[in-house]
Amino acid sequence: NERYEPQSIEPRWQDRWTAAHTFSAGNRPGAEKRYVLEMFPYPSGAMHMGHARVYTIGDALARWLRMRGHDVLHPIGFDALGLPAENAALKDGKHPAARTRENIVSFRAEMRSLGYAFDWDREIVTADPEYYRWNQWFFVKMLERGLVYRRQGKANWCTGCLTVIANEQVLEQDGQRTCERCQSPVLEKVIPEWAFRITAYADALLEGLDQLGAWPERVTTMQRNWIGRSVGAQVQFPVEGTDRKIEVFTTRVDTIYGCTYVVLAPEHPLVEAVTRPERLAEVRAFVERMRRTEAAARTGEGAPKEGVFTGAEAVNPFTGARVPVWIANFVLAEYGTGAVMSVPAHDQRDFEFARKYGLPVRTVIQPAHGERTPPGDQLGAATTEDGVLADSGPYTGLPSADARFRMSADAKAKGFGEANVRYHLRDWGFSRQRYWGTPIPIIYCPDHGAVPVPVEDLPVRLPEQAIITGTGEPPLAKVPEFVNTVCPVCGKPARRETETMDTFVDSSWYYARYLSPKDDRQPFDPKLADRWLPIDVYVGGPEHAVMHLLYFRFWNRVMRELGLVPVDEPCKRLVTQGIVNGPDGRKMSKRWGNVVAPGPMVKRFGADTVRMFMLFAAPPEKDIDWSDEQVDGLFRFLSRVWRIFHARHACFGAGEAALGEAAGAALELRRRTHRTIKRVTDGFEGDLKFNTGIAGLMELVNDLYAFEPASEPDRAAVREALVALATLLAPFAPHVAEELWHAVGGPAVEGALLADQPWPAFDPALVAADTVSIAVQVNGKLRGEVRAAAAATEAEVRALAESEEKVKGYLAGKTVRKVVYVPKRLVNFVVS
Ligand code: ANZ
């Protein structure tokens, strides 16, 4: 066929790969393993361009690694449980199970049509009881280890989703707290909930980041900040006239001589106890008002500082000074001890508050060099840097860091404080008052309390016939057949837990389930984990930096303690891909009417063109704009590739033996071929730069068009270029690559597939820095030719020429009288 018609060739190769089980993991037992994973899709809607991009990136890599001889695991599955499917059900009444089933069918078809090299035999769907059963199993194991507990927690209540959501799912912007999923306001609500003790791993997760050198720094930094380790001290301030003590957490105990007041969070348990009777009414009114104000509006940077005096005084244990006790909006009950010592001279928030309420400001830190900080009453803003202590009793003159160390030790010795470490990371509350999730395997017995379901009895199945109301009451509570059960301990009537698990539980360990997806005795086979883990390359969106990517690191550590996995960190290298915007440069969205779906594009241009666009538009990390012209350009490129194979079919039979004789333009073509092999290979190693590799292929194709073969060595050079071109295209445009590789006579063996072939090696000599051919004359007559580096010196060229076989004879026994040298052109020996 003269015309490139992807629609007529692509399905054929997809069938061939499937029939041959080409992408089954484990079929190269002797080879080094590589585990390439893309974040699995959430099938709440149809496949979009963002999916096409992430899977194309991972696929190119997986295909390339196979060609490099590795045993590659490249699985796929569906993250099927969770809120979006349930929210959609509220709108149109379609059962989430039916919706996800349908969407999965269309996802599979689209993924197949894009030619992804997935090992489909390992597909998992988290909504299957065979999968979520193991979520429940992990829950029970973690409960046994004290890593799961029930708490009376302040939870983030989404007013749209009507369920609790994790801290990580709350967006904070301009003093507004909204749900990342539905953009509704998020309120705080006190409710009982189940939580994972991820904070027990705070240090481990922090230290583990040091092993993740191949993760984008942006992501590790976000995780570091999210864990938020603060080294400081806890100090107790006795409250005058009572036996109560206010304990504060500070990272700057070196400033304590400048403490001029103490502040409690409005929710602090001591508020009522310390407030003087005459101030109680005012304090209560303030506290009540703060309860109704969203946390972000209270504590955001720009939020006005507000407070109320309790009438009480506390004693600074270092100085004996009495300072007033206030309550203020900017102190959080959940962080530290819920109380702070305020040092307005050296903390900006405290400074603004002090100025507003006329509280004293005392400078106690001076810069080590340079201009002195004025006394408190003349300060325009807090000076927050470390320095040298001033007006600080026995500590005066010490540098801040030394002072912190000594003061913590002294506090400890005197019994009013100690050094302390605090984290911003909170435990992971994972109870959801929703239907479409893993049922939490707990039974409430009147006599035995919360009893875990014995692991033999798992799974606790999600009933099909739940009524999804969206009222905030768990839908499972309205299914009596589900709720009513018996206590596993005593057999008396009991009730099941009706909450379900956060969908992030599903994605916390799915990468390990792929190892033995049908295992019904254990979550996965630990022996296979020994072979396949960690994930070598994980591709997914940067928006998962602190949710999924932190949870799965946590879960992996728990799995290691359970003896299931051999490594602390689940994933060596992370690639975070950029967004695919619409042609107008805006994020694709129904709202802008700029959505381009992959399905119709594949129908129109073929999968190979869509894949090429995804990889050529920019390196994986960068955002790209969908561009019809560029897509069209890539289609034209593949058509050009197609036509040059047809135009040069006379070269297909050329023997390799003639390659060595290629000279002149044919040699230049060979050099281009080998340089292209190097360039495409480099694009896979180190930083992923598929785009420059593809640009190299374009140049190679141009050179092929420009070269008319006339001799057997010429034809051999063309054939070499064509075979390389097809092979190098294989990770990017695998269908057309197979087709052309077979055409040029690639397969040495019947039934061979390009996808299985070794990746080509380049000849370093042909790749070396530019060379030039230099004519060698003896007494003005052409006697030979040498190739030298373009940058070679006269002496080097002369040495090369003298050792050239054909020239040697003319020089033998003669005396060289003179050498004429024209750089990059000619060397002439004048002899007698
Ligand atoms: C006195 C002080 C003086 C502070 C100074 C800072 C500068 P990170 O680094 O985030 O851990 N703080 C402590 N608990 C708080 C709470 N529950 N709500 C609001 N603020 C709280 O921050 C620790 C610092 O934040 C602590 O150190 C405390 O203020 C404040 F020149 O104590 B500092």
Q: Which domains does the chain have, with CATH numbers?
A: 6-126+505-541+577-603 (3.40.50.620), 134-197+427-501 (no CATH), 229-423 (3.90.740.10), 648-767 (1.10.730.10), 771-831 (3.10.20.590)
103 Ramachandran zone, left/alpha/beta (phi>0; psi -120 to 50): alpha
Pocket lining: 422 vs ligand 1, CB cutoff 6 Å: yes
* Distance between Cα 340 and ligand 1 center (Å): 6
Pocket lining: 331 vs ligand 1, CB cutoff 6 Å: yes
* Distance between Cα 569 and ligand 1 center (Å): 32
Query: Which residue ranges of the chain lie beneath pLDDT 50?
Result: none
Pocket lining: 230 vs ligand 1, CB cutoff 6 Å: yes
Residues in the chain: 832
* Distance between Cα 252 and ligand 1 center (Å): 8
CB 493 within 8 A of CB 438: no
- Say what the pLDDT of residue 297 is: 67
ipTM of the complex: 0.94
Pocket lining: 338 vs ligand 1, CB cutoff 6 Å: yes
For ligand 1, atom 18, the nearest C-alpha belongs to 331
Assign 528 to helix, strand or coil: helix
* Distance between Cα 401 and ligand 1 center (Å): 16
How many of the other CB atoms lie within 10 Å of CB of 706? 10
Tokens of 109: 């078809």
DSSP 93-117: ---HHHHHHHHHHHHHHHHHHTT--
- Flag whether 814 is marked binding: no
* Distance between Cα 287 and ligand 1 center (Å): 21
Could you tell me the sign of the dihedral formed by the alpha carbons of 346, 348, 349, 354, in that order? Answer: positive
- Say what the pLDDT of residue 580 is: 93
Model pTM score? 0.86
Residue 710 has, within 13 A of its CA and on its CB side, a CA count of: 7
- Residues contacting 358, CB < 8 A, separation 6+: none
* Distance between Cα 175 and ligand 1 center (Å): 20
Tokens of 59: 């696929």
Residue 776 has, within 13 A of its CA and on its CB side, a CA count of: 23
Report the C-alpha gap between 284 and 306 in whole angstroms.
14
Pocket lining: 692 vs ligand 1, CB cutoff 6 Å: no
- The position carrying tokens 């290298």 is 573
Instruction: Give the closest residue to 430 by CA, choosing from 78, 648, 149.
Output: 149
For ligand 1, atom 11, the nearest C-alpha belongs to 230
Amino acid residing at 636? R
User: With DSSP H G I counted as helix, E B as strand and the rest as coil, what are the percentages for the chain, rounded to 5?
Assistant: 40, 20, 35
CB 485 within 8 A of CB 443: yes
Pocket lining: 106 vs ligand 1, CB cutoff 6 Å: no
Pocket lining: 606 vs ligand 1, CB cutoff 6 Å: no
φ, ψ of residue 181 to 5 degrees: the values are: -85, -50
* Distance between Cα 232 and ligand 1 center (Å): 9
DSSP 225-285: HHH-EEEEEEEEEEBTTSS-EEEEEES-GGGGGG--EEEE-TT-TTHHHHS-GGGHHHHHH
Report the C-alpha gap between 650 and 569 in whole angstroms.
54
- Say what the pLDDT of residue 148 is: 98
Report the C-alpha gap between 362 and 725 in whole angstroms.
74
- The position carrying tokens 């003669």 is 814
* Distance between Cα 371 and ligand 1 center (Å): 26
Q: Which of 347, 349, 404, 423 to mutate to test the pocket of ligand 1 (most atoms within 8 A of CB)?
A: 347
- Say what the pLDDT of residue 83 is: 85
Could you tell me the sign of the dihedral formed by the alpha carbons of 218, 223, 227, 231, in that order? Answer: negative
- The position carrying tokens 């000619």 is 826
* Distance between Cα 372 and ligand 1 center (Å): 24
The beta strands (E) that lie in 109-175 are given as: 124-125, 148-158, 163-165, 170-173
For ligand 1, atom 10, the nearest C-alpha belongs to 230
Vertex 420: Cα angle to 419 and 426 (nearest 5): 175
Q: Which of 253, 329, 335, 349 to mutate to test the pocket of ligand 1 (most atoms within 8 A of CB)?
A: 335
Ligand 1 atom with the shortest distance to the CA of 342: 1
Pocket lining: 347 vs ligand 1, CB cutoff 6 Å: yes
Vertex 618: Cα angle to 113 and 79 (nearest 5): 45
- Say what the pLDDT of residue 412 is: 98
DSSP code for 121: G
Pocket lining: 249 vs ligand 1, CB cutoff 6 Å: yes
How many of the other CB atoms lie within 10 Å of CB of 369? 7
Q: Which of 249, 262, 386 to mutate to test the pocket of ligand 1 (most atoms within 8 A of CB)?
A: 249
Identify the burial level of 775 via C-beta atoms within 10 angstroms of its C-beta, where 0-12 means exposed, 13-18 middle and 19 or more buried. middle
Pocket lining: 335 vs ligand 1, CB cutoff 6 Å: yes
Identify the burial level of 600 via C-beta atoms within 10 angstroms of its C-beta, where 0-12 means exposed, 13-18 middle and 19 or more buried. exposed
Report the C-alpha gap between 143 and 458 in whole angstroms.
15
For ligand 1, atom 20, the nearest C-alpha belongs to 331
How many of the other CB atoms lie within 10 Å of CB of 320? 7
- The position carrying tokens 């060099």 is 369
Q: Describe the crossing of helices 664-684 and 690-706 by its angle, rounded to 10 degrees.
A: 170
How many of the other CB atoms lie within 10 Å of CB of 713? 22
Identify the burial level of 578 via C-beta atoms within 10 angstroms of its C-beta, where 0-12 means exposed, 13-18 middle and 19 or more buried. middle
* Distance between Cα 416 and ligand 1 center (Å): 18
Pocket lining: 362 vs ligand 1, CB cutoff 6 Å: no
For ligand 1, atom 7, the nearest C-alpha belongs to 347
φ, ψ of residue 712 to 5 degrees: the values are: -60, -45
* Distance between Cα 798 and ligand 1 center (Å): 75
Report the C-alpha gap between 198 and 688 in whole angstroms.
33
Pocket lining: 343 vs ligand 1, CB cutoff 6 Å: yes
- Residues contacting 503, CB < 8 A, separation 6+: 79, 81, 82, 83, 126, 437
